[in-house]
Amino acid sequence: MVQIKRLGVFQNAKLASLLYFIISSLVLMPFGFIILFTGGKTKSGLTWWMVMLMPLIYYVIAFIITVLTCIIYNIIAKKIGGISLELKE
């Protein structure tokens, strides 16, 4: 068994936030274009540019939350040990 003693804070945050950005872009961009071509506004008041901006907002939020999560993990892992993994060669 091996333990993950420390997580790279900014590397994990960059990766997680980029994944959130890509996935949310794939999901939300088509809706943004649909809203744009059907009048520019939904019944709930969302405009097309708000929907197009959401992936960027998700990117920032995912970065901040991943940084905080990694910092908390590193503090806890230092005191009680990290996640245990069994690796096979």
Quote the pLDDT of residue 26: 94
CA-atom Rg of the chain in angstroms: 19
pTM: 0.82
pLDDT at 72: 97
Q: Which two tokens stand for residue 66?
A: 């991943």
pLDDT number for residue 14: 97
pLDDT digits (tens, 9 = 90+) for 34-89: 877 887 777 777 777 888 899 999 999 999 999 999 999 999 999 999 999 998 88
Distances in whole angstroms, Cα of residue 38 to Cα of each of 19, 31, 43, 49: 29, 10, 12, 13
Closest CA to 50 of 38, 41, 63: 41
